[in-house]
Structure formats: C-alpha cells, structure tokens
Amino acid sequence: MDDLIVDLADGSTRLTPGRTWYLVARPRRLEITVNPTAPERIAFLARMISGWYLRIENPAAAGISLDGQPVRDRSTLITGRSAVLSRTISDAMPAAAHRSGWDQGAVTRALRSACPTYADLELLLARDLYVELYAIVPPGDMRVVSDRVIRAARENFWLGELLAAIRFAAPEDPVLDQVVPRFDQESIVDRAKGIFDLPTFLAGVTRISARVCRIQVADRAAQVFGTGFLIGPDLMMTCRHVLERLFTGVARPDQVIVTFDFHSQADLTARLQSSLGLAPDWRVADAAGELDFALVRLNGTPGTDEVESGERRSWFYLLDEKDPEPGAHLFIPQHPRGAPLKAAIGEVLDNGSGHGLFTHRANTRPGSSGSPCFTFDLDLVAMHRAGWKDDPADGNAAVPISAVLRHLRAGGFDMNLLGES
C-alpha cells in the first residue's frame, strides 16, 4: 500500500499518492490541505518513486518535527507507512523574512514582460512552481491576473520562487533587472538547492533506477552487500572495498552476484534467477585508498537489455561534471544492507575543493557503498564510499567522478571503454 498515515495533534489523515498535500501553520498546530494556495502554507508532502517526501521551504522558521525529531533539511524521505508531525514555535526561531525595496509596480511589469499572455503564465507556474493558475484567478485582463498572482505569492511565501522562475524564463530581460537586486538575488535564487521540473526529474529517476544494481559477495566465511552502477554495456562501477574479498583471493569471481531491477522483496527470487556474475576477465581498473573504486566487467551486457518501460537500459557516462557546491542536494539510489532499491537526499557539506572526497548528509547504510550520487539535474558527480566511523556528525564520504577520471587518464586507461572520445 502506498498511502501514508499522518498523525497531527488533532487526529490522523490518510494521504494518497497522485496529489500534493500541503501543511498549513495554525497557532501551535498543523493542518493538512490539498489547496495549493492556502494561506500560511509552510510545507508539502508528495509520493515519489522512492517513497513519501516531506518538503519544507524554510526548515528553521517552520519548526516542524517528524516522529519527535526536528526536521532540518528541506527534503526528507519518510520511512514507514505513518508519520507523526508536530510544530514547535520558539521565540528564538527566526521570523519570516521580509524583503526590503518592495515595488509592486516593478514586479508586475517584470511578470507581464516575461509572461505576456495567460497561457504563458499558466505554463510557467505549472512547470516551475507546480501551482495551478486557474485556482488563483481565471483568464482575464493580464494586469488583474498579474496582480492576483503576485498577491498570492506574497501571502503564501513563494514570491522568491516566482521571481527566480521569471529570471530563468527570461534571463536577459532588462525589466527584471529593476526588481531582483532589490530582493537580494542570493536569498531568492539559491542555485545550490535549485528548483527542478518534477515530471522530468521523475522520468530521469526511472531511467537511473534501471542502471543501479545490488551486489552480493557470498563465500563460505562471510556475506557482503554493496551497490553498483553501469558505466558501459557490460561495465560496472562500485567501491573497491565492496569486492575486497575478491581482490585478496578470499572469494572467487563466481561468488559475486549482481542483480538489477530489484525494487521489492517479492521480486528477489525472480531477480536472482536472472542475476549476472563477473566475466573471466573481470578486473578492468581499480584503486585502493581514498579513491576506493573498481571498474569490473560482467558476464553479460545488461546495458543493452530492454527494461519494463520498453526502453533500453543503457548506462551512465563518466563525465567531468562540475563538483556541486556545499549546500547543494544529492540524490543517492542505493541497496542498503542488500534491500530493494531505496533512495536518499542530503546536502553536500564539503566538496573537497575539487581535490578530495565529498562529504554529504544523505542517509546511507552498510550495503550503500558504491552508490551513484546525482545532483537534482541528475548529473552523476560522485560515488558514495562510506560513513565516517570516528564522528558520524562529520557526514558521509563520496568519491568525485572527476577524481576517478583524473586517475584513469594519468594511468593511461583506454577512455574509449567508457564511451569517451
């Protein structure tokens, strides 16, 4: 069952997938509504492929707790089939931000310049903000429509997002230059956290999921789980330590089981029957130490297989993507402890300034090592390696793809194997 039971102070509500549920702030309590323009809206819940997510625009100001724990991230994956949500208001909490330099006329001109017709504005709101224009105002005089939209944006605390959407829709529009600087561009357009197109993101997640695999190394003495991902028709990348027993000769190549499309426990038996192993010439490239990666060849070509959607599974290309900035969010699909495919979202704490490991705050478990790490643009930028044993508060470690590529090139690796010209 995909429904989520949410317990609030005044009772429980069953949330169903397929729509967005908004949390509305009332004095000392929360309410749930499906009205996207409800006043005092501070968060929403939505069912995505990997589970239910709680999205809070300003966690510090919202003061929301999930199952008794304060929520500090903007996006939180809810585990389980129920959630207890509450709100604590403290005098120490920051008040809602008020922008200086408010100029209703300038903002209206900027909005009408970027969206001269009702259809233009309807598309922009639906695509970038997931807001239905007709729920705010019906078609009519665009001066009236623009004023109503701006008023709704101010009352419901998404004026910053509206201005950011206009800026991205018309980046060269000089009319907008009169407005955005007065509203402090850095606080409105947080490029690290971003705004992304949900249908495009979900379609991309579906493609990504097909290329991520569960790794099991099962010899007589131990059983090790990890996660891997395709970087060629028959090439898989994971952490070297996941396959350490193979490298040391304790385990044999035929004791490695690689399983794709493992999305539910009910699938396990069928998926294991179609699992792959390693090819006789399995060892392609690897590095111990900080980089901790291994490229291995499988005994099949899953990258050319057709998946349930009818598309070819394909694979990821290792590219020199720009390392994400601290504060950016990573999306990490994984098989924690060998479980069906899960996903986590967390902030980049430190990107290593292009020379070392990333640290991030996404939830991971044993078995998550080797998971690909994506930006919200779904660019593959790193591979999750491990958590810090000395101090979990330091976050988890990930290996930048750019560092792996530098190592391969320095060693004379044939980059054509990775589809690189």
Q: What is the pLDDT of residues 250-269, one digit of tens each?
A: 989 999 999 999 888 777 77
Two tokens, residue 197: 């197109």
Strands (E), 16-68: 21-26, 29-33, 41-48, 51-56, 64-66
**Would you give the end-to-end CA distance of the chain in angstroms?**
46
For residue 297, the model assigns a pLDDT of 96
CB 215 within 8 A of CB 256: yes
As a CATH number, domain 197-421 is 2.40.10.120
Task: Kindly give the parts of the chain with pLDDT less than 70.
Answer: 1, 27-28, 36-37, 48-50, 57, 89-104, 127-130, 155-158, 160-161, 164, 167-197, 321, 352-355, 387-394, 419-421
